[in-house]
Chains A and B, each alone.
Chain A
Amino acid sequence: MTDIPVLEVTDLSIGFGGRRGHPALEIVRDLNFSIARGERVGLVGESGCGKSVTGLALMRLLPFNARLGGRVMLDGVDMTGASAASVRKMRGKKIAMIFQEPMSALDPVFTVGEQIGEALRLHETLTRSEERDRVVAGLREVGIPAPEKRYGEYPHQLSGGMRQRVMIAMALINKPDLIIADEPTTALDVTIQAQIMDLLTRLSEDKGTALLFITHDLGVVAETCQRMLTMYAGEIVEDAPVDDALGAPRHPYTSGLLRSLPHFNGERGDFAFIPGRVPAPNAMPRGCRFAPRCTYAGKECTAPQALHHVSDARRVRCIRSAELRLDGAVARESAGETA
């Protein structure tokens, strides 16, 4: 039982539109990954790479014009083919989501307690006082001071950090096996972000809840996750244990992202960056999608690239990965000195 991953995504593709003779616009393709029980996985990439759409697809929250291909197995149930009714039974109970902006994710006209209680009522039959006790306990668990008092308050009465704690309490109330957190700390100040990161890590460890952490912030992934999936232009380009991905990336895009991060070392040299822009979904290169921006692109890169294993725990979508020695968060030369 414990060997079965909580989530298994096979050949998932996500497209939009595609009616009246027009082909669907493919946003994400060839997505293959799994998440083990209790594992914390970071899904990183820049805006438009398809990471948020992937999160919504796993929750089956995409609009009607979305076209899903492939399979998403959640606790052994196929989410892509499941009926709307059975998906509703899974949401909250098996898989829950935390969004970036808690103010727009919470309903302003209901109290915090009513909203969390509603999530509970959808899956369990409880008396009013049982429900209240469970919700108050949930609020206490996420570190909200005076939870009995906060139970009856409205979202606007809480700070941004407290609202995000409420969202986390709501996601956890039915003890799901997997939480998808889409940029849960991006809207928060850095000292509050640190609190929320610690909270998510601790709860995931205590309860064995798996976490898919969608973010553009590599620092957040480094400090909360065990594994990192890097997406570029709708594809996973690298899948590796987080320390390996940061220390010695195998895909030029992961390496480019890491080198683009500002480093303060007392000098004010050039800022590194990746030249060019992400291609539009309707103008994807035929071969490697990163090739037009890649310093290492060669003839072999004009062919489509497969995500292949380079070791048991690592996969890379780059035909040249074996011959490249790429810089990570710390340049290779200085890494030896620091370590």
Chain B
Amino acid sequence: MSDPVIEVRDLKLRFPSLDGTEVVHAVDGVSFRIEAGETFGIIGESGSGKSTIGRVLVGLLNPSDGDIVFAGRSRSSISGREWRKARRGFQMIFQDSNAALNPRMTILDSLIEPMRIAGGRSREEMRETALAALVRVGLRPDMAQRYPHELSGGQKQRVNIARILPLEPRLVVCDEVVAALDVSIRGEILNLFRDLQRDLGLAYAFIAHDISVVAQISDRVAVTYLGRFVELGATGDVIERALHPYTVALLSAEPQPLPRALRDDRRLVLQGDIPSPVNPPSGCRFHTRCPWATEICGRVDPEWRELRSGHRVACHHATPEGLPSPGRAGTREMTATWEETS
């Protein structure tokens, strides 16, 4: 894994608020690389900037600051025309499989549209490629003549996957792609993603709020909070030996579908809501809700440190051994507590 498909350097993205008087810091200094053929998971709550990062990766949004590097070239150094061509290699699949398809176009026309925009294929070639893509994602060729409303949610999501295959992407950004699907059929779609990755060497940026899904599909996982990465590492390390208090809280908040005897009954309950990205807290952005927070956390922005091999974290209190017991580090009033869930 020495050849990144894409590298993001100190990405920042700011939006003006509607009346123009305020600035929303949606993404505020994020750097990472996605290797060829890997699945890079991005988890976080709403407003953490995870979808914005995904949109920047495929060129739907332009960074306010920072750069994107791919195939030895950087986004800022090439012309708009070159970028439009290059970004065909970066495709995106969205959460709402229905909204992503034009209700007035047949499935075949929806499949052909991206190829027509890319150009270089005859009508007959496009048709054949489209039908082959449809079969590749596990749908019958006769589905091509149908309209989106005649398909189930799972089938529509398969069509959305089929649409991007003829463009031969190297990276696919999957933004909450199974969130709208019933639990019983999610596995089928996730298996398809995995098979396509194995056969076509695709890299995925897999964005979701559901940790269990991301954990099962990703090689590495990044945890976002208020426009920053707070932790990044191999999936097993992040899930089983989390270094950041926010990751610990996210993991413990996930309800466990297990009988009581098998559940971990201790839960780190965070108080309060996520602060506004218009006015993010000073220092560490998580300090307003963090049980480990001390005086330094409100004052000094924590460094992005590699505490274990390939496992990075932005926290003053994390050590290679993990976090000290909560509260002991704290000199201020606890904002969160470990509670026995009854």
A residues sitting closer than 8 Å to B (CB atoms) are 46-47, 159, 161-162, 189-195, 197-198, 201, 205, 216-223, 242-244, 246-247, 256-258, 260-264, 266, 268, 270-275, 277, 328-330, 335, 338-339
Given the complex of chains A and B, what is the CA–CA distance between A193 and B250 in angstroms?
Answer: 11
Contacting A at CB under 8 A, from B221-260, are 235-236, 239-240, 249-250, 252-260
For residue A192, which residues in chain B have a CB less than 8 angstroms away from its CB? 273
For residue B211, which residues in chain A have a CB less than 8 angstroms away from its CB? 190
Chain B's closest residue to A274 (CB) is B184
For residue A162, which residues in chain B have a CB less than 8 angstroms away from its CB? 273
Q: Which 8 residue pairs are nearest across A and B when measured between Cβ atoms?
A: A219-B255, A273-B187, A271-B187, A243-B259, A189-B45, A274-B184, A218-B257, A264-B215
- B254–A46 contact, CB under 8 A? no
- A191–B253 contact, CB under 8 A? yes
Given the complex of chains A and B, what is the CA–CA distance between A223 and B263 in angstroms?
Answer: 9
Task: From the candidates A159, A195, A261, A273, name the one contacting B257 in the complex (CB within 8 A).
Answer: A261
List 6 additional A-B contacts (Cβ < 8 Å) besides A190-B250, A264-B216. Answer: A194-B269, A242-B259, A244-B259, A262-B212, A271-B186, A271-B188
For residue B262, which residues in chain A have a CB less than 8 angstroms away from its CB? 247, 329-330, 335, 338-339
Chain B's closest residue to A215 (CB) is B255
> What is the size category of the interface that chain B forms with chain A?
35 or more
For residue A194, which residues in chain B have a CB less than 8 angstroms away from its CB? 252-253, 255, 267, 269-270
B261 at the interface (CB under 8 A from A): yes
B209 at the interface (CB under 8 A from A): yes
Task: From the candidates B215, B235, B260, name the one contacting A262 in the complex (CB within 8 A).
Answer: B215
For residue B236, which residues in chain A have a CB less than 8 angstroms away from its CB? 266
B190 at the interface (CB under 8 A from A): yes
Return the CB mask of B89-107 against A: 1 if under 8 Å, else 0.
0000000000000000000
Return the CB mask of B268-284 against A: 1 if under 8 Å, else 0.
01110110000000000
Contacting A at CB under 8 A, from B322-342, are 339, 341-342
For residue A190, which residues in chain B have a CB less than 8 angstroms away from its CB? 45, 209, 211, 250, 253-254
A-B contact pairs, 30 of them (CB 8 A): A161-B273, A189-B46, A190-B211, A190-B253, A190-B254, A191-B250, A193-B255, A194-B252, A194-B253, A198-B339, A217-B257, A218-B183, A219-B255, A222-B258, A222-B259, A242-B259, A243-B261, A246-B257, A258-B257, A260-B186, A262-B186, A262-B187, A262-B190, A262-B213, A263-B212, A264-B216, A264-B235, A266-B236, A277-B185, A339-B261
- A271–B216 contact, CB under 8 A? yes
Determine how close the nearest CB of chain B comes to the CB of A79; give it in whole angstroms.
30
Given the complex of chains A and B, what is the CA–CA distance between A79 and B256 in angstroms?
Answer: 35
- B183–A261 contact, CB under 8 A? yes
Contacting A at CB under 8 A, from B103-143, are none
Chain B's closest residue to A189 (CB) is B45
Chain B's closest residue to A335 (CB) is B262
B152 at the interface (CB under 8 A from A): yes
Determine how close the nearest CB of chain B comes to the CB of A113; give it in whole angstroms.
20
- B216–A272 contact, CB under 8 A? no
Max count, chain A CB within 10 A of own CB: residue among B216, B254, B269: B216
Given the complex of chains A and B, what is the CA–CA distance between A190 and B249 in angstroms?
Answer: 9
Given the complex of chains A and B, what is the CA–CA distance between A48 and B235 in angstroms?
Answer: 34
Given the complex of chains A and B, what is the CA–CA distance between A329 and B260 in angstroms?
Answer: 12
B217 at the interface (CB under 8 A from A): yes
For residue A191, which residues in chain B have a CB less than 8 angstroms away from its CB? 45, 249-250, 253, 270
Say yes or no: A217-B215 contact (C-beta < 8 A), given A198-B341, A271-B190. no
Chain A's closest residue to B184 (CB) is A274
Given the complex of chains A and B, what is the CA–CA distance between A271 and B46 in angstroms?
Answer: 26
- A47–B191 contact, CB under 8 A? no
Say yes or no: A201-B212 contact (C-beta < 8 A), given A222-B257, A270-B191. no
Determine how close the nearest CB of chain A comes to the CB of B58; give it in whole angstroms.
25
- A47–B182 contact, CB under 8 A? yes
Determine how close the nearest CB of chain A comes to the CB of B184; give it in whole angstroms.
4
Max count, chain A CB within 10 A of own CB: residue among B152, B182, B274, B341: B182
Given the complex of chains A and B, what is the CA–CA distance between A218 and B154 in angstroms?
Answer: 21
- A217–B216 contact, CB under 8 A? no
Max count, chain B CB within 10 A of own CB: residue among A218, A243, A271: A271
Given the complex of chains A and B, what is the CA–CA distance between A191 and B262 in angstroms?
Answer: 21
Chain B's closest residue to A220 (CB) is B255
Max count, chain B CB within 10 A of own CB: residue among A191, A193, A218, A256: A191
Chain A's closest residue to B273 (CB) is A159
Given the complex of chains A and B, what is the CA–CA distance between A162 and B188 in angstroms?
Answer: 36
Chain B's closest residue to A328 (CB) is B259
For residue B259, which residues in chain A have a CB less than 8 angstroms away from its CB? 222, 242-244, 246-247, 328-329
Given the complex of chains A and B, what is the CA–CA distance between A243 and B261 in angstroms?
Answer: 9
- A271–B191 contact, CB under 8 A? yes
- A273–B184 contact, CB under 8 A? yes
Chain B's closest residue to A205 (CB) is B342
Given the complex of chains A and B, what is the CA–CA distance between A260 and B217 in angstroms?
Answer: 14
For residue B188, which residues in chain A have a CB less than 8 angstroms away from its CB? 271, 273, 275
- A264–B258 contact, CB under 8 A? no
- B250–A274 contact, CB under 8 A? no
- B256–A257 contact, CB under 8 A? no
- A257–B209 contact, CB under 8 A? no
- B213–A222 contact, CB under 8 A? no
